[in-house]
Structure 1
């Protein structure tokens, strides 16, 4: 079985974005009414999925995708808590409908209603709602709700502990994933995302978070940012700071394969043990189209993993076993379905 652990609903029906535009307009002009939840038909959802994510998943040999709201659309920099909660709820409800329509091919991961330095009560409540009532298998956690200005406390700070306690109780992981960049010096897709992956790993390296939460699990996407490609730097920094070797983090931290060329995938898989790599594509995401030199779509990461020097055991871990281990609620669902 081939499980893609990183997919976003980037092709939502028009009514979904119209709702968001109405939300933002009402924030800017209090005389406007806050919009009602949009009416989106099942047929509109099917159309948005069948010709896009599902089509590519099948064409590229995948079986199931872990699916979450569009990352850039989370827009956690908007400070209004009520708006964040309504928007996350609407996004997560839409993901639940996708899973309901295509249960063999999608599993839900939720957007959290984060705001810059905002309270976490509503964040925890939304996580519980999605996991306990809609059978979601994880969440996306934004380490920088400010949108590229990094005003938030590091992931090791006690501020985040209520969320971690809920994650541990529910036995769900978080993918570390920022949203849009409001900083004109930091391009969202080419800099902010990879900066965040790298920064998150360094925060974890400096702290003792997993001593307090030994079963907490994080997925750092996009191949781990800069980390695998500068592994000697992180090992050397750990020694300089008197910290354990960064490989100690791999009891709790995992990278994915959203790396869009063969040499990058090859290096990732040489540096990081196969036990800590999850197959993922983030298809129809940041990088679209095909490499003109090869004709291979940039985000067809299965093509690259298939051509990497791996044993069959390693390949099985990356494509399926690791994902099921990191997302035990997904494993339980698949096992119950005889898969």
Structure 2
């Protein structure tokens, strides 16, 4: 079985964005009425994925995708908590409906209602609602709700602990995933995302020993191949020695990376350095990078082609394509078992 753990609903029907636009308009003019999500038909949802994510998933030989709201659309930099709660709920409910229409092909992952300096109580509440009420198997956690200004404390700070307690109680992992960059020096897709992946790992290297001793069941997925981390593994090992920290490999019981790396040498290095037991298959389709590499004729985000060509043994491929996802996402494993898979 081939499980893609990183997919976003980037093709949601237009009325969903219309609700967001109405939210933002009301923040600019509070005299406007409080907007409500527009009704979107099942047929509109089917049309939005059948010619996009579902079509490509089937064409590339995938079986199932973990599906979450559009990452750049989470927009956690918007400071109003009520707006964040309503937007997260609407986005998650839409994702849930898609996964109910196509339970064999999609499983839901939720957006959290984060705001700059807003604490995690609302995020904990939405996580519980989604996991216990709608069968979500994971969440996306933004380590920088400010959108590129990095005003939040590191992921090892105690202010995050109530959320971590909920993640452990519910036995779901968090993918570390930022949203849109508001800082013009960071391009959202080409800089901010990869900066966040790298920054999160360094935070965990500095404080992860204490964090994971307190929360041994806490699991983070660092996307986009881990940012700079696998490609500078010697730097992080050297820093750990210099700073008197545990070897970065000690984090890999709680931290894993995905395969959203869009060229063959990158996948080759990722699987060799990090090891196939700590890498989960993903494409982020349809996401940041679309189109075909001119020199190969392969779609940039057709990561299965790169993984298949990485020279891995069958058991290593099994880990990347299925076993690791079932281990890191136990609620996904339970969902699949209930389907006889």
TM-score category of the 2 structures, normalised to the smaller one: over 0.9
Cα distance between partner residues in 2 of 1:177 and 1:333: 24
Cα distance between partner residues in 1 of 2:176 and 2:322: 20
Structure 1 residue ranges (4+ consecutive) displaced by more than 2 angstroms after TM superposition? none
Cα distance between partner residues in 2 of 1:144 and 1:122: 16
Mapped pair 1:96 → 2:68: no
1:335 Cα offset (Å): 0.9
Mapped pair 1:139 → 2:149: no
1:331 Cα offset (Å): 0.2
Partner of residue 320 from structure 2, selected from 308, 318, 322: 318
Q: Which residue of 1 aligns with 2:256?
A: 254
TM-score by length of 1: 1.00
1:112 Cα offset (Å): 0.1
Q: Which residue of 1 aligns with 2:226?
A: 224
Alignment of 1:111-150 (within 5 A): 111-150=111-150
What is the count of residue pairs matched by the alignment?
339
1:206 Cα offset (Å): 0.2
Q: Which residue of 2 aligns with 1:110?
A: 110
Q: Which residue of 1 aligns with 2:59?
A: 59
C-alpha RMSD of matched pairs (Å): 0.5
1:59 Cα offset (Å): 0.1
Q: Which residue of 1 aligns with 2:329?
A: 327
1:119 Cα offset (Å): 2.5
TM-score by length of 2: 0.99
Q: Which residue of 1 aligns with 2:245?
A: 243
Query: Counterpart of 1:243 in 2: which secondary structure?
Result: coil
Cα distance between partner residues in 1 of 2:120 and 2:281: 30
Q: Which residue of 2 aligns with 1:172?
A: 172
1:117 Cα offset (Å): 1.2
Q: Which residue of 2 aligns with 1:42?
A: 42
Cα distance between partner residues in 2 of 1:117 and 1:323: 32
1:273 Cα offset (Å): 1.0
Cα distance between partner residues in 2 of 1:6 and 1:257: 9
1:337 Cα offset (Å): 1.2
Cα distance between partner residues in 2 of 1:170 and 1:272: 27
Q: Deviations over 1:28-69 (max 9, x none)?
A: 111111211211000000000000000000000000000000
Q: Which runs of 5+ in 2 are unaligned?
A: none
Partner of residue 267 from structure 2, selected from 265, 273, 277: 265
Range 34-43 or range 234-243, more displaced: 34-43
Q: Which residue of 2 aligns with 1:288?
A: 290
Query: Counterpart of 1:154 in 2: which secondary structure?
Result: coil
Cα distance between partner residues in 1 of 2:37 and 2:78: 19
Cα distance between partner residues in 1 of 2:166 and 2:222: 19
Q: Which residue of 1 aligns with 2:205?
A: 205
